[in-house]
Structure 1
Amino acid sequence: MLRNCASLRDDGDTRMMTMVHGSAVAIGGLGVLLLGPSASGKSDLALRLIDRGAKMIGDDILHIKSTDNTPQLEYAPSIAGKIEVRGVGICSVDYVASAPLRLVVEFAEDIDRMPAEDMRTMIADFSVPLVKLDAFQVSSALKVELALRSVIDAGLLPVAQHADIAHESAKL
């Protein structure tokens, strides 16, 4: 679920913000957004990634803002540092306030054995690298890390698709 709305910063600057239902972690300072329906394993996979050294950005509600023509994942202040652990409840974890979005992980049951090399999805007016995984496979946390490494090694970045953002990018 995505919803666009304006955000008013402390300095009076208004930027478009997209609210997203998902979970997000930072791996090596880079943001990974986990998307899927309710009870699809977003928080579970985030927890396994945190166990492997990732930092929580947010669980359930996230904000995506364009910062220097880069999509930036940010936590929702009302639930900062909280994650829902099914069967346990709401737990506190270490978190970071934000990270540049570099990879979207979409949960699916029917996974291509050899997916296209440059799969992308649109998030907040950016075309972002995408990988589809089954959240509950034992190897999913490692697969997320490998997918992020592949994105980094290939030099794949989110690309602005909105006319205003693309125009600003062209000025740089």
Structure 2
Amino acid sequence: MTDSSDSEERMIVHATAVAIDGAGLLIRGKSGSGKSDLALRLIDRGAMLISDDQVEISRENEKLWLSPPASLAGKLEVRSLGILERDHVSGIALELIIDLNDNPDRFPMDSQSMILLGIKFPACTLAAMETSAAIKAELAMQRIMQGAIES
């Protein structure tokens, strides 16, 4: 939706988001693909929950900001345990999008990108249930953030 009074756009997407060193990572995939599980492993490695299951994305100028819808703030679904309360953060700038797929390409990161609310973002595809998925997500984020610093 667009509010012409302040030129801000918002949308809610079916996804999970975490912050790694203050940078927003949006994890997308079909239901049951491992979004919450990957987020849980990233949180165990030091990431902070932004939102699970649904993420509110708002555009201000040339940045997208990730936040939880009020009803989901601090809630994380942990399969077999239910919905758990977790510390969370809000209003984190999106830096990377990860799409989940059981059989990702071998060398895709150099060419993948995604456009959300008119802004192009780097993207990559991971298999969420691979043992190394959380490490790969962190490495992808490091690569993106180092590129941002070098630019």
> TM-score under structure 1 normalisation?
0.81
* Residue 29 of structure 1 pairs with residue 41 of structure 2: no
- SS of equivalent residue, structure 1 residue 44: helix
Q: Deviations over 1:118-140 (max 9, x none)?
A: 41012222111001000000100
- SS of equivalent residue, structure 1 residue 141: helix
Q: Equivalences for 1:100-115 in 2 at 5 Å? A: 100-115=93-108
Shift of residue 115 of structure 1? 1.6
Shift of residue 6 of structure 1? 4.4
Aligned to 1:95: 88
Hey, what's the Cα distance between the residues in 2 that align with 1:97 and 1:110? 32
* Residue 85 of structure 1 pairs with residue 78 of structure 2: yes
Q: Identity over aligned residues, as a percent?
A: 38
Structure 1 consecutive aligned stretches of length 4 or more whose deviation exceeds 4 Å: none
- SS of equivalent residue, structure 1 residue 113: coil
Q: 2:57 aligns with which of 57, 64, 85?
A: 64
Hey, what's the Cα distance between the residues in 1 that align with 2:72 and 2:133? 25
Aligned to 1:166: none
Higher relative contact order (CA 8 A, sep 6+): 2
Larger radius of gyration: 1
Aligned to 1:18: 11
Q: 2:121 aligns with which of 128, 131, 151?
A: 128
Hey, what's the Cα distance between the residues in 2 that align with 1:15 and 1:89? 35
> TM-score under structure 2 normalisation?
0.92
Hey, what's the Cα distance between the residues in 2 that align with 1:53 and 1:7? 36
Distance 1:86-1:66 versus aligned 2 partners, 3 A rule? same
* Partner amino acid, structure 2, of 1:44: D
Hey, what's the Cα distance between the residues in 2 that align with 1:154 and 1:92? 34
* Residue 53 of structure 1 pairs with residue 46 of structure 2: yes
* Partner amino acid, structure 1, of 2:86: V
- SS of equivalent residue, structure 1 residue 155: helix
5+ residue gaps, structure 1, are 157-172
5+ residue gaps, structure 2, are none
Distance 1:116-1:103 versus aligned 2 partners, 3 A rule? closer
Shift of residue 67 of structure 1? 2.3
Hey, what's the Cα distance between the residues in 1 that align with 2:123 and 2:95? 9
In the alignment of these two chains, the number of paired residues is 149
Shift of residue 15 of structure 1? 2.2
